[in-house]
Structure 1
Amino acid sequence: MSSETADVAAPIAGTGGHGTLIAVVGPSGAGKDSLLSYARDRLGADPAVLFVRRVITRPAAPEAEDHDSLSVDAFLAAQASGLFAVAWQAHGLHYAIPAAVHRHLAGGGIAVVNGSRAALPAIRAAFGRVVTIRISCRPEILAARLAARGREDPGRQQARLARSVTTAEADREVVEIDNSGALAGAGDALVAAIRSRMTKSASISRGREA
């Protein structure tokens, strides 16, 4: 049985906009949080781009992802109330993307979220137009990063490393970014990928309005 499961809440009525959800995925230690922070610093002032705060049943911490924290009971109550577009479990925690993201996409915007590889099918089912940006790094660097952060024992670290191998998705739009080197290199690649989607979405909207 997979360590991650996902389920889809009912989509908000009338969310047939032209926006795109960008799901940034990759193994723990690949540097997703750092790259998202880098991109947010450069694009966060643009109202067309929403950097989504996930909801997680984990206390907030300065060195971890910027997220909204709920207790398990509060999380399950919010899920039952339809406040989440997608919810899943991984590593003993509950994760969710707020349903309010639909409103930003309905206006033609771009939403960028720290996603989950196992939850991608549910994310696509909930949002429709999804671009995956897959972050990777060399195995030895991944192992060193996991060890340096000291969150888990060696057994859990090895389990994460074993799950770091992903398969190609030839029928999906996937952007690959290697974050083995300096943060700025991969960060600029992420910013460029987001800007590319902004340009495409604007072009689609103009075409439909013509």
Structure 2
Amino acid sequence: MKGRLVYVMGPSGAGKDSLLAWLKDHLPPHMPVHLARRTITRPPKADDEQHHSVSAHAFEQLSDAQAFALHWQANGLRYGVRHDELSPLHLGKWVIVNGSRAYLPQALSRFPHLTVVHVTASIDVLRQRLLARGRETPEMVDARVRRALAFKPPAHAIEVRNDGTLAEAGAQLLHAFERL
């Protein structure tokens, strides 16, 4: 199997982290996949994705040292994927990166053969999930939903609807991967 870089993105509330966690537990043995661990300027939480947590200053030092293959800023945080997280590509593995919609053009310019996955859900589901988190005001949630509506993924992107169960969305993603 040839190495492939997969860039997963989508609006807040679409369930990207949940879908990637499901995928990790349900990958077929013939699919050698590495889920790239991100470096983020936020402390880890028990129910959060596993990531390297660093201060803003440490992130800046890593960035200045060219430690990141990909890096962006979103929602007041800095995100980066270190070069060593992409090294499994050289072993023929697939590497899945949880990315940002806004950073997609830069990611595609660095990695033109990137496989793009757009995880989304209906507007009502996005709104419900974001409100249930309780992290933002209803006005902030509406702004996020408007950004989700305005975003148009590239024509070649794999679209995964995550309106139902994680197993249904996961099956969509696995089926799409098997067709690649």
TM-score (norm: length of structure 1)? 0.78
The separation in 2 between residues aligned to 1:82 and 1:44, in whole angstroms, is 34
Q: 1:46 to 1:75 in 2, by over 3 A?
A: farther
- Alpha-carbon distance, 1:167 to partner: 1.3
The separation in 2 between residues aligned to 1:44 and 1:53, in whole angstroms, is 20
Map of 2:154 onto structure 1: 169
The separation in 1 between residues aligned to 2:9 and 2:159, in whole angstroms, is 10
Q: Do residues 179 (structure 1) and 162 (structure 2) align?
A: yes
Structure 2 gaps, min length 5: none
Correspondences of 1:82-101 after superposition (within 5 Å): 82-101=66-85
Give CA deviations for 1:69-116 in whole Å, capped at 9, x if unaligned.
Answer: 111001110111111011111111101111113322122221011111
Report the RMSD for the aligned CA atoms in angstroms: 1.8
**Number of aligned residue pairs:** 178
Q: Do residues 134 (structure 1) and 100 (structure 2) align?
A: no
User: Equivalent residue of 1:164, what SS?
Assistant: helix
The separation in 2 between residues aligned to 1:141 and 1:36, in whole angstroms, is 18
Where in structure 1 do 4 or more consecutive aligned residues deviate above 6 Å?
A: 44-47
Map of 1:119 onto structure 2: 103
Map of 2:133 onto structure 1: 149
Contact 2:71–2:78 at 8 Å: present in 1 too?
yes
Give CA deviations for 1:114-161 in whole Å, capped at 9, x if unaligned.
Answer: 111111111122233211111111111110100101112222212211
Over alpha carbons, which structure has the higher Rg?
1
Q: Provide the identity percentage.
A: 39
Correspondences of 1:1-210 after superposition (within 5 Å): 19-43=3-27, 48-165=32-149, 166-170=151-155, 173-197=156-180
- Alpha-carbon distance, 1:47 to partner: 7.7
- Alpha-carbon distance, 1:196 to partner: 3.7
Structure 1 gaps, min length 5: 1-17, 198-210
The separation in 2 between residues aligned to 1:168 and 1:111, in whole angstroms, is 20
Contact 1:86–1:96 at 8 Å: present in 2 too?
yes
Contact 1:44–1:51 at 8 Å: present in 2 too?
no
User: Equivalent residue of 2:148, what SS?
Assistant: coil
